Amino acid sequence: MQATKMKKKQEGRSIDVNKPVHNGDGRAPVQFSKLAKDKLDHVKQAENLDSYNAVIDHLYGVWKSTIPSAAGMFPGVGPFEREEEDLNRVPY
């Protein structure tokens, strides 16, 4: 069974949310608004995290775990049964 790929639109381009992000150790400068910084500080304090990288990793993990699963989308549909044998099917 092929996994369903979820995509999200962001500024006119689609992002595959199932594809892991680059795990490099380089640094990039980032600018946040005062409100965003206060929110990051709040999460950092509430979750007892030691760095903003840890806060972002935590938030990413929470977001990733809330992506809805495609399993059970059609609960009334019964299990798949073949009507006839497919001679071209690759056995698993």
pLDDT mean over 4-21: 57
- pLDDT-derived band of residue 76, with 50, 70 and 90 as boundaries? confident
What is the 3-class SS of 33-90, one letter each residue?
Answer: CHHHHHHHHHHHHHCCCCCHHHHHHHHHHHHHHCCCCCCCCCCCCCCCCCCCCCCCCC
Of residues 23 and 10, which shows the higher confidence score?
A: 23
- Percent with pLDDT over 70 in the chain: 73
pLDDT mean over 54-66: 91
pTM value is: 0.49
Tell me: the pLDDT tens digits for 24-48?
A: 667 778 888 999 999 999 999 999 9
